[in-house]
Amino acid sequence: MENLRFKRVLFKLSGEALAGNKGFGIDPETVSAFCGQIVEAAEMGVQLAMVIGGGNIFRGMSASASGMDRASADYMGMLATVMNAVAVQDALEKLGLCTRVLSAITMREVCEPYIRRRAIHHLEKGRVVICAAGTGNPYFTTDTAAALRAMELKTQAIIKGTKVDGVYDKDPKTNPDAVMFDRLTYMDVLEKQLKVMDSTAVTLAMDNSMPIVVFNMFVPGNLKKVVTGQKAGTIVE
Ligand code: UDP
C-alpha cells in the first residue's frame, strides 16, 4: 500500500459530472473517463464510498418552482440518483472493480438497502460502495447526503470531484480573473457563500471536523494526488 493520507474517503460526484458536454443525462464516455481514476485509487488500497447526485436528470427545486409539490419532486430527484448510481456501478465493474449500490430508498430488485454496518463491511472487503437516493428524505440534497454518509462510515475526508480545479472567489467559467483558493476554513466558505457544497453539508462537516477536498476529477492522476496528500484542488478544514 502506498503512503496514503486518506485511507477511506467519501467521493461526492454531482449528477452534472456524468452528463459530459451534453449537459443532460448520462454520457458513457465521460463516466468511463473518470472511473479509471477510481480504479487507480482502489488498487492503492483506498476504501471508497461514493454519493452520486441526480441533477443531470431531475432536480426537485426546479420542478417545484414550476408548480410541482416539492416533496414529490424531491422523490423524483432521489430516484434519478439511483439511475446514476447504477450507471457508475456498471462502468466500474466493466473496469474490474467490485461494487455495491446501497439505496436510502429500498428498491430490492435493483440494489441493496442502505444499512450502515453493511456499507462498512463492503468497504472493509474492498468493494466500492455507491450510496444512492441521497438521504432518503425530501428537502435535502446529495451534498448533505455525502456529509452524512461520511460521518456514518467514518471516512477521513469528503472529496468532491468537479469540472474545475478547485474553489474560486468567483465563477471561473465567466470570470477569467477568478482566483483559486488552496485552503479555506469552513467559516470562510459559509461567510463568503463559496460554492463548495451547500451550507447544511458544510455545517455538518464543520461540526464533525471532516475535511472537504474539491478537485478536478477530469485531470488524470488527480484522485491519486488527493488520497496521497499531494496538492490538488482546494482543501476546506
Ligand atoms: N434529493 C432529496 N433528498 C436527498 C438528496 C437528493 O430530495 O437527500 C433530491 C433533490 O430534489 C435534488 C435531487 O434529489 O434536487 C438531485 O440531487 P442533487 O440536486 O443534490 O444532485 P447534484 O446537484 O449533486 O447532481
Question: How close is the Cα of 186 to the center of ligand 1, in Å?
Answer: 22
| Residue 134 clears pLDDT 80, i.e. is over it | yes
Q: Give the number of the atom of ligand 1 that is nearest the alpha carbon of residue 55.
A: 25
Domain membership of residue 142 as a residue range: 8-236
Tell me if 76 is assigned to some domain.
yes
Share of the chain above pLDDT 70, in %: 99
Tell me if 50 is assigned to some domain.
yes
Tell me if 143 is assigned to some domain.
yes
Tell me if 73 is assigned to some domain.
yes
State residue 61's pLDDT score: 86
> Which residue's CA is the closest to the ligand 1 atom numbered 6?
141
State whether the beta carbon of 211 lies less than 6 angstroms from ligand 1: no
| Residue 135 clears pLDDT 90, i.e. is over it | yes
Span 33-69, pLDDT tens digits: 889 999 999 999 999 999 999 999 999 888 888 899 9
HEC sequence for the chain? CCCCCCCEEEEEECCHHHHHHHCCCCCHHHHHHHHHHHHHHHHCCCEEEEEECCCCCCCHHHHHHCCCCHHHHHHHHHHHHHHHHHHHHHHHHHCCCCEEEEECCCCCCCCEECCHHHHHHHHHCCCEEEEECCCCCCCCCHHHHHHHHHHHCCCCEEEEEECCCCEECCCCCCCCCCCEECEECHHHHHHHCCCCCCHHHHHHHHHCCCCEEEEECCCCCHHHHHHCCCCCCEEEC
Q: Which of 57, 81, 163, 204 to mutate to test the pocket of ligand 1 (most atoms within 8 A of CB)?
A: 81
What is the count of structural domains for the chain? 1
State whether the beta carbon of 65 lies less than 6 angstroms from ligand 1: no
Integer angstrom CA distances of residue 55 from 81, 129, 176, 210, 215: 8, 20, 26, 24, 19
Q: Give the number of the atom of ligand 1 that is nearest the alpha carbon of residue 104.
A: 8
State residue 86's pLDDT score: 97
Question: How close is the Cα of 141 to the center of ligand 1, in Å?
Answer: 4
Amino acid letter, 133 = A
> Is residue 3 very low, low, confident or very high in pLDDT (cuts 50, 70, 90)?
confident
Tell me if 1 is assigned to some domain.
no
Span 141-198, pLDDT tens digits: 999 999 999 999 999 999 999 989 999 999 888 999 999 999 999 999 999 999 899 9
State whether the beta carbon of 162 lies less than 6 angstroms from ligand 1: no
CATH number, position 120: 3.40.1160.10
Tell me if 59 is assigned to some domain.
yes
Tell me if 35 is assigned to some domain.
yes
| Predicted TM-score (pTM) of this structure | 0.96
Q: Are 158 and 147 in contact (CB under 8 A)?
A: yes
> Is residue 1 very low, low, confident or very high in pLDDT (cuts 50, 70, 90)?
low
Amino acid letter, 236 = V
Span 61-90, pLDDT tens digits: 888 888 999 999 999 999 999 999 999 999
